[in-house]
Structure 1
Amino acid sequence: MNSTLFRPLIVPAKTVVLLVFVPNSGSQQDSVNQLLDRIGAVLGDRIRITRVDQVVHPEVVRSFGVHQLPSFILLKQGIEIWRHNGLMDARELIRTLSVQLKEDGKE
């Protein structure tokens, strides 16, 4: 096995991770991509966004019990702190994530 092909995902323990379970459908993927670009532009390094493609990683989709795509799961130190199934308006999602990040900062 070529070690350059495998690089483990190293995320600092205090980083909040947004898992985004994306559908295989082109039109929905475009909508999700635009949404993620907007989230990244607003929230920057306060959150790590990780896409999980249902076709590439079906075992991860199953392990989180995701039945509707797209789905958004926010994790802190590997523990789920928020979940939403279905597409959201960008402003509403950013507002919701910002609230979750502020609550995260209180701990």
Structure 2
Amino acid sequence: MESNFYDIINIEKPVLVDFFATWCGPCKMLAPVLKQVKEELGDKIKIIKIDTDKNQDLSAKYQVRGVPTMILFQNGKQLWRQSGLLTKEEIIEVIVSKYSK
């Protein structure tokens, strides 16, 4: 998974990574919000989900201490990160403000 992960985050398009756990209530609440973000932004963004329990090395590398944690990457660089729940509007605002074309 790890090498594939680096291929994914090293693209021109912003990539929002959702570090989650299957047992996490707020993570389950965030899933439909991220779906709405994807529906609204379409091809302008890629959203991937990383299960922290199954990808502990990756979670440790990015110091994910709580879930959900979202990290926005572009060209392999971390542009932003946030733990906890955000609204669709807040997430879109961050993506639009951080995204450099």
TM-score with structure 2 length normalisation? 0.83
Counterpart pick for 1:51 among 49, 52, 60: 49
Kept in 2: contact 1:22–1:32 (CA 8 A): no
User: For residues 1-107 of structure 1, what are the structure 2 equivalents within 5 Å?
Assistant: 8=4, 11=8, 13-25=11-23, 27-101=25-99, 104-105=100-101
Cα distance in 2, alignment partners of residues 15 and 93 from structure 1: 16
Deviations 1:58-85 (A, max 9, x none): 1111110111110111111111011111
The unaligned stretches of length 5 or more in structure 1 are 1-7
Higher relative contact order (CA 8 A, sep 6+): 2
Report deviation, 1:26. Answer: 5.2
Secondary structure in 2 matching 1:81? strand
Kept in 1: contact 2:26–2:84 (CA 8 A): no
The unaligned stretches of length 5 or more in structure 2 are none
Kept in 2: contact 1:39–1:94 (CA 8 A): yes
Which residue does the alignment assign to 1:4? none
The size of the alignment, in residue pairs, is: 96
Kept in 2: contact 1:21–1:61 (CA 8 A): yes
Report deviation, 1:23. Answer: 2.3
Decide which structure has the larger Cα Rg and report it: 1
Kept in 2: contact 1:16–1:48 (CA 8 A): yes
Secondary structure in 1 matching 2:92? helix
TM-score with structure 1 length normalisation? 0.79
Identity %: 22
Task: Output the aligned Cα RMSD.
Answer: 1.8
